[in-house]
A and B are shown apart, each in its own frame.
Chain A
Amino acid sequence: MNNLLVLPVLLPMVIAVFLMFFRKKVVLQRVVGLVGGIANVLIAGAVVLRVRSEGIQTLQLGGWEPPYGIVFVADMFAALLVLAASITGLAVLIYSFASIGREREEHYYYTFFHFLLVGVYGSFMTGDIFNLFVFFEVMLISSYALITLGGDKKQLREAPKYLLVNILSSTLFVASVAYLYAAVGTLNMAHLSQRITEAGQGGVLNVIAVLFLIVFSLKAGLFLFFWLPGAYGAPPFAVRASFGALLTKVGLYAIVRTFTLIFPGDPSFTHGWIAGMAAATMILGGIGAVAYRDIPRILNYNVLIGVGFVAFGLSASTRDALDGVVFYMLHDILSKGLLFVLGGMLIAAAKTDRLDGMGGLIRRRPGLGWMFFILALALTGIPPLSGFAGKVLIVRGGLEEGMLALSLVALASSLLTLYSLVKIFREAFWGTEPEVQQEDEAVRRQKSKKTSKAANMKSTSGAALANVSAVVLLLFVIGIGLASNGVYAFASQAGETLANPILYIEAVLKGE
């Protein structure tokens, strides 16, 4: 029963529509969202196991044979990303319960959140380039709503820029699809790949490939990331967590898919561009992460370093590097979600987002402190944790290809990641608590004695929920690291499809 493939998209969509009717019933919204989130993790797990045992799965929507209809394709790469995204989505949802606030919850927050998931899962699963555009728009329009929801001044300042950049890149996306259709006359990715191989990639097809690279880089924050640090600093932290973990990864997925399946024909030209952009992203992201002293900016620039790393793996494109790309993207989705959840908890605990006003938090929030520390090590790629295997595979692939300079840049960017995060850890958690903070604390305690017990209970249950979501993600981040061997078996099956697009084409166009 291959209809399994449509469930990851269908379930959040049904939930989103259902939740529209009950916007005032926050408890109902939370329960339905939670049950749906858990169900989605199970479904994604089932898809991964199915692909593991039976190979690439396809679903022809409406029963039309490809290339005439839209086809959903789950190879191991897409299935693993859907699984990682649904786990992160569930954790961010739980964190939203704790942090988003009743005002936003009553104004369709969960509806938008689920539509965002629809766009993300759909982009991973689709096998049609125009359908990819549509799922991108589903995701982006939900993200427009989420970035503006609440409407405080900062959001209203950043949202128009975010909209403008994404409208531009969507316009360019449609233009590239138009050129591609004129050049080869089809929209199905497998069929495109076949025809481009027959025609021989060069000349006009290279230009179209670079146009696609520009489009997806604007979405993924690969070198063309000027919009990202500001835009990701505007919305509440639960929204940032879903953006940082999912949105840029969808752009990256599209780059990886495009340049392994559709345009792999002329690597000396296209992959050179990707390599240069990856190097620039890692260097600029690293500089940004080290330069700033407010936590949101440091976290946003850390997102960019991860993007650069994956692009580096793609530009090397050896078998090892592609396995590494899969592995690293899994790690990156989970750990960037965790990074923003912890960042939100940290700022909520310190009541400021400037490092200067923090200190000594380890006494009040030891659990938060040590989770942040472990995450910093995982993002750097310290061996027993999740970031290590992906980075080793990518750098090994880079060295095999003789890309020494780029490998060194990648390793140096890991060092800058470590420095920027340990800077947060050292200044926020060690040291003494600032005077003002303690006064605030005293005032707050007096107040909280006066205020009703219910409000107090609510804030503690909120903190507990936030802790639950952080712990869930942290267990996965540690688990992927400890079970590297087991995960590698899956990642390497995904890497095999990326390295040999013929497997993908045969699975989709098996009738011919």
Chain B
Amino acid sequence: MEWIMAVAIGALFMIGVYLILTKSLLRVILGTSLLTHGVHLLLLTMAGLKRGAAPILGSGSESYVDPLPQALILTSIVISFGVTALFFVLAYRAYQTRGTDEIDGMDAEGKEADS
């Protein structure tokens, strides 16, 4: 089971890195969210995918899945949600002010302004 997850996470990382290396800021942000998806799945996978009940006491099960990585993922999800929201607004604002959403375009414009 873990190896399927590993392949899927690898694919997510691959697509994420590819998107981050493109020009458009919007694609870059999509790339970062794919990367965070990948890393959350990685946390879940690395803690082991053994069979067991959901970690809620009272289900009367013999064994439970590891509750710690689920807490870590929950924390990490809200953090990356906040950061992604900020990033989107920043990109929108940069587009409004600078009139382009291309990272390269930003550089060229910046050099003109600096010199």
Q: Which residues of A contact B (CB under 8 A)?
A: 130, 133-134, 137, 141, 144-145, 148, 151, 153-154, 156-157, 159-161, 163-164, 167-168, 170-171, 174-175, 177-179, 181-182, 187
* Contact code string B78-115 (vs A, CB < 8 Å = 1, else 0): 01101100110011011001100001001101100100
User: A137-B79, A148-B90 are known contacts; what are 17 more A-B pairs with Cβ within 8 Å?
Assistant: A141-B83, A144-B90, A153-B97, A156-B90, A157-B109, A157-B110, A160-B90, A161-B103, A167-B36, A170-B79, A174-B42, A174-B76, A175-B42, A178-B39, A178-B45, A178-B46, A178-B47
B43–A178 contact, CB under 8 A? yes
Of B25, B28, B79, B86, the contact of A144 (CB 8 Å cutoff): B86
Q: Which residues of B contact A161 (CB under 8 A)?
A: 103
A151 to B98: give the CA distance in the assembly, Å.
11
Chain B 4-16 near chain A by CB (<8 Å), digits 1 or 0: 0000000000000
Residue on A with the closest CB to B42? A178
Check B75 against A134 for contact (C-beta < 8 Å). Answer: yes
**By the criterion CB–CB under 8 Å, are B113 and A160 in contact?**
no
From the candidates B32, B48, B79, B98, name the one contacting A156 in the complex (CB within 8 A).
B98
Is B20 positioned at the interface, with any CB of A under 8 Å from its CB?
A: yes
Is B72 at the interface (CB under 8 A from chain A)?
yes
Alpha-carbon separation in the docked complex, A509 to B99 (Å): 57
- A130 lies within 8 A of B28 (CB): no
Q: Tell me if A175 and B32 are in contact (CB < 8 A).
A: no
Q: Which residues does chain A contribute within 8 Å of B109, judged by CB atoms?
A: 157
Task: Name which residue of chain B comes closest to A136, CB basis.
Answer: B79
12 contacts between A and B (CB under 8 A): A137-B79, A148-B90, A156-B94, A156-B98, A157-B94, A157-B106, A164-B20, A167-B32, A170-B83, A177-B43, A181-B43, A181-B46
Q: Which residues of chain A are near B36, meaning CB under 8 Å?
A: 167, 171
Contacting residues, chain B, for A145 (C-beta < 8 A): 86
Known A157-B106, A164-B32: A174·B39 in contact at CB below 8 Å: yes
CA of A181 to CA of B107, assembled, Å: 40
Determine the distance from Cα of A141 to Cα of B80 in the docked complex, in whole angstroms.
10
A154–B36 Cα distance when bound, in Å, is 28
Are the CB atoms of B97 and A171 closer together than 8 Å? Answer: no
Please give me the 3 A-B residue pairs with the lowest Cβ-Cβ distance, nearest first. Answer: A182-B46, A178-B46, A178-B43
Q: Is the interface of A mostly helix, strand, loop or mixed?
A: helix
Q: With the chains together, A160 CA to B86 CA distance in Å? A: 10
A335 to B20, CA, bound (A): 36
Q: Give the interface of B toward A (CB within 8 A).
A: 20, 25, 28, 32, 35-36, 39-40, 42-43, 45-48, 68-69, 72, 75-76, 79-80, 82-83, 86-87, 90-91, 93-94, 97-98, 103, 106-107, 109-110, 113
Which chain A residue shows the least CB distance to B95?
Answer: A156
Chain A hits for B72, CB < 8 A: 130, 174, 177
Of the listed residues A141, A145, A171, the one surrounded by the most CB atoms of chain B closer than 10 A to its CB is: A171
Residues of the B chain whose Cβ atoms lie less than 8 Å from the Cβ of A178: 39, 42-43, 45-47, 69
Min Cβ gap B64→A in Å is: 16
**Nearest chain B CB to A360's CB is how many angstroms away?**
25
Residues of A near B39 (CB, < 8 A) are 171, 174-175, 178
Of chain A, the residue at the smallest CB distance from B107 is: A157
In the bound complex, how far is the Cα of B20 from the Cα of A167, in angstroms? 11
Instruction: State in angstroms the CA–CA spacing of A151 and B97 once bound together.
Output: 9
Candidates B47, B98, B107; contact of A153 at CB < 8 Å = B98
Bound CA–CA A144/B83 (angstroms): 9
* Chain A residues within 8 Å of B35, by CB: 167-168, 171
Please measure, in the bound complex, the distance between the C-alpha atom of A220 and the C-alpha atom of B65, giving whole angstroms.
Answer: 37
B102 to chain A, nearest CB (A): 11
Contacts of A137 in B (CB 8 A): 79, 83
Question: What A residues does B40 contact at CB under 8 A?
Answer: 174
Q: Which residue of B lies closest to A179 (CB)?
A: B46
- A147 CB to closest chain B CB (Å) equals 10
A159: chain B residues within 8 A (beta carbon):
90, 94
Cβ A163 vs Cβ B90 within 8 A:
yes
- Beyond A134-B75, A160-B90, A174-B39, whether A167 also contacts B83 by CB under 8 A is yes
Complex: A310 Cα to B96 Cα, angstroms: 42
Contact call B87/A160, Cβ cutoff below 8 A: yes
Chain B residue contacts of A182, Cβ below 8 A:
46-48
Contact among B42, B46, B79, B106 for A134, CB-based, below 8 A: B79
List of A residues within 8 angstroms of B82 by Cβ: 141
C-alpha gap A154/B109 in the complex (Å)? 10
- Residues of B within 8 Å of A179, CB to CB, are 46
Return the chain B residue nearest A140 by Cβ. B83
Q: How far is the CA of A182 from the CA of B42 in the complex (A)?
A: 10
Query: B2 to nearest A CB, angstroms?
Result: 10
Cα distance A170–B75 in the bound complex, in angstroms: 13
Contact B46 A160 (CB under 8 A): no
Q: Is the CB of A157 within 8 A of B98?
A: yes
List of B residues within 8 angstroms of A181 by Cβ: 43, 46-47, 68-69
Query: How many angstroms between the C-alpha atoms of A130 and B47 in the bound complex?
Result: 14
Q: A187: which B residues are within 8 A, CB to CB?
A: 68
Tell me how far the C-beta of B28 lies from the nearest C-beta in chain A, rounded to whole angstroms.
6
Are B87 and A167 closer than 8 Å at their CB atoms?
yes
A212 to chain B, nearest CB (A): 15
Residues of B within 8 A of A154 (CB): 110, 113
Shortest distance between the CB of A293 and any CB in chain B (Å) = 13
Residues of A within 8 A of B94 (CB): 156-157, 159-160
